Amino acid sequence: MPQPRQLAETPSMTATVPRQLVHRAAVAETFLTGWHRIAEHRFSVSAQWPRAHGLHVSADRSAYDPLLVVETVRQSGTLIAHAEYDVPLDHHFVLHEFDVDTFPQYLAVGAVPAELTVDVDFVDVQYRGRRPVGARYTAQVLRGGERVATATRVVFTCISEPVYRRLRGGRTAATVAPFPLPPALPPAGVGRALPADVVLAPSGHPGRWQLRVDTAHPVFFDHPLDHVPGMLLLEAARQAVRAHTSGARSPVSFRITFDRYAELDEPAWIETADGAGGVVQVVGRQGDSTVFACTVDTAAR
């Protein structure tokens, strides 16, 4: 009978990092595979992208979506904050700014899952006592030596569970009833294959859509939340650009500022306006407040 191979004979064996370190419930939504420190505030993070994904790979499995870059960079910063700066696992992260440029020529899906390196530089870490309470970092995403993306500015704060609960005024995932889902735009018009992945609904006004928030969505709501997650808002900006340009242009860069939480139980609206040179301005509003503002650079499809 053949003897089992020893682990030492296997050239490379890889697993994801613990999902709790990137604030994911599903291993399938955890894209990071390891990390190490290369300088005092510089780190190298390894990642792997699957060849198929319900949201972040094109329907024909030919290309990775730029928002997969965003999620990978987000996970990288969260991982480093917990693993290297000792931010407790029960702390909540509040994302304030995210600027990223992607290079679509390096986002093609290959014959095997894509292996990536994310070079992360924490350029400004803010402390209260000995514990970090916020940071700004940059990131370079590399694939086979080629630069897939550059994140020039990511800013977040992290707050304890008691402070978060006071900030949220008693709102929890269990107590907040989500606003009813309005009818979706046609999926093809926003670059999606499935109606369930459409996050915009018609409003009856050009350049304006109602946000659709499906708390059962397995990617956007990988775990229960008491607010609309930032990645869903970025997806809304992405889909709004596709709808605004009638599918003629695709987002390649995002510069987004989050101003406040988007609540689950109130209607929210996504508005677009033309900028110069293929830029589209996207704003999210809820009530009388701006939730986010995003400048999206685009490329012709």
Whether 264 is covered by a domain: the verdict is yes
Residue 209 forms beta bridges with which residues?
202, 270
Give the pLDDT band of residue 131 (cuts 50, 70, 90). confident
Q: Are residues 188 and 77 in the same domain?
A: no
Range of the domain at 216: 172-300
Whether 2 is covered by a domain: the verdict is no
Residue 167 pLDDT: 95
Whether 1 is covered by a domain: the verdict is no
Q: Are residues 145 and 219 in the same domain?
A: no
Q: Are residues 64 and 130 in the same domain?
A: yes
Mean pLDDT computed over 67-95: 97
- Which of 133, 165, 197 lies at the terminal end of a domain, its last residue? 165
Residue 13 pLDDT: 62
| pLDDT tops 80 at residue 11 | no
Q: Are residues 180 and 161 in the same domain?
A: no
Q: Are residues 218 and 283 in the same domain?
A: yes
CATH classification of the domain holding 85: 3.10.129.10
**Residues 65, 56: contact at Cβ < 8 Å?**
yes
Whether 220 is covered by a domain: the verdict is yes
- Which of 150, 165, 180 lies at the terminal end of a domain, its last residue? 165
Q: Are residues 217 and 259 in the same domain?
A: yes
- Which of 135, 165, 195 lies at the terminal end of a domain, its last residue? 165
Q: Are residues 126 and 204 in the same domain?
A: no
Look up residue 151 and give its two tokens.
């994140």
Q: Are residues 176 and 161 in the same domain?
A: no
pLDDT digits (tens, 9 = 90+) for 202-249: 999 999 999 999 999 999 999 999 999 999 999 999 999 999 999 999
Q: Are residues 204 and 125 in the same domain?
A: no
How far apart are the C-alpha atoms of 36 and 45, rounded to whole Å? Answer: 7
Whether 179 is covered by a domain: the verdict is yes
Using CA atoms, how far residue 90 sits from 23, 143, 210, in Å, is: 10, 32, 33
Tokens 């996504």 -> residue: 270
Percent of the chain with pLDDT over 90: 92
Total domain count, the chain? 2
Whether 86 is covered by a domain: the verdict is yes
Percent of the chain with pLDDT over 70: 96
Q: Are residues 134 and 190 in the same domain?
A: no
pLDDT digits (tens, 9 = 90+) for 257-271: 999 999 999 999 999
How far apart are the C-alpha atoms of 153 and 99, rounded to whole Å? Answer: 5
**Burial of 156 by CB count in 10 Å (0-12 exposed, 13-18 middle, 19+ buried)?**
buried
Q: Are residues 161 and 176 in the same domain?
A: no
